[in-house]
Amino acid sequence: MLELMKNTASFISDRVNFRPQVGIILGTGLGSLADSIEVHSVLRYSDIPNFPVSTVEGHKGQLIFGTLGGKRVVAMQGRFHYYEGYTPHQVVFPVRVMKFLGIEYLFVSNASGGVNTDFKTGNLMVITDHINLIPNPLIGPNVAELGPRFPDMSEAYDRSLIDMAREIAAREGIALRYGCYVGGTGPTFETQKEYGYFKAIGGDAVGMSTTPEVIAARHMGIPVFGVSVITNVGLSGEKSTHEEVQVEGAKAAVNMTKLFIEMVRAL
């Protein structure tokens, strides 16, 4: 696995000749942040050796290298989900590769269903903690070169980055919520009782991604900042659809993009 990561990273480095400082993962409906990147180069996942290929509608499947908020970034437009059938190791492979490319921070985004009953569709939630219910990507032999066998997760989401988000949002007039993201396997949306269960265990929003990538990043000591777009409200009794998630994601992407740009600038 380590060899594959290193080979993939050196393939990419040779191709793009660009050392990113920040990695960004764009979730469902949030790919438009990429329009704000001053693009240096783009690599399709299908052209990158050892990269899985994204299969979901609304996920483009490419790495975008360029400048955002005056910093060198690499953005994943489209990610790999456990529900697509990838192993947990495959899901986090790109995060491992981004570390070898040089990233010092990871910004993650996703679409989720609100289980906090104060939340409304279109809200942006800064992820302050998570509950991972997806098989852990660190299961298996530990690669000491990547990180420790038993990584600490007490500050999975970097507190100083959360404070920075609070300040920037106040300055820019962006309304933010804060809460705990539950990473479930999907691909089903939750039953009413499941939404209630996630609320009861301390979740504020539930989605089908992100926790594996955050675990891999923290394993490697990378500080993480995460934002979740509440695209539907789980306990409303309304039906949840992928189309709704894409539409609401696209609307909220405007504020999320503004927040990410200003945060990256302030790093």
Show Cβ contacts of residue 179 under 8 Å, excluding neighbours closer than 6 positions.
116, 119, 125, 126, 127, 128, 203, 204, 205
Residues 88-127 that bind ligand HPA (CB under 6 A): 111-113
What six digits make up the tokens of 60?
């483009």
CA 5 to CA 210: how far, in whole Å? 20
Q: What angle is formed at CA 129 by the lines to CA 81 and CA 262, rounded to 5 degrees?
A: 85
Q: Which residue is nearest to ligand HPA (CB)?
A: 113
How many residues touch ligand HPA under the rule CB under 6 A: the total is 14
Is residue 245 within the footprint of ligand HPA (CB under 6 A)?
Answer: yes
Tell me the window of 86-94, 126-134, 217-225, 229-237 that interacts with ligand HPA (CB under 6 A).
229-237
Is residue 228 within the footprint of ligand HPA (CB under 6 A)?
Answer: no
Compute φ and ψ for 91, nearest 5 degrees: -60, -40
Tell me the window of 5-13, 65-73, 216-224, 228-236 that interacts with ligand HPA (CB under 6 A).
228-236
Q: Name which position in 58, 78, 147, 207 contacts ligand HPA (CB under 6 A).
A: 207
CA dihedral over 264, 32, 84, 73, signed as positive or negative: negative
Tell me the window of 34-42, 149-157, 184-192, 256-264 that interacts with ligand HPA (CB under 6 A).
184-192
Shorter beta-carbon distance to ligand HPA: residue 129 or 194: 194
61: helix, coil or strand? coil
Q: Give the helix/strand (H/E) hosting 139.
A: none
Minimal distance in Å, beta carbon 225 to ligand HPA? Answer: 19
CA 60 to CA 150: how far, in whole Å? 34
Is residue 189 within the footprint of ligand HPA (CB under 6 A)?
Answer: yes
The binding site for ligand HPA (CB under 6 A) comprises 111-113, 186, 189-190, 206-208, 231-232, 234, 240, 245
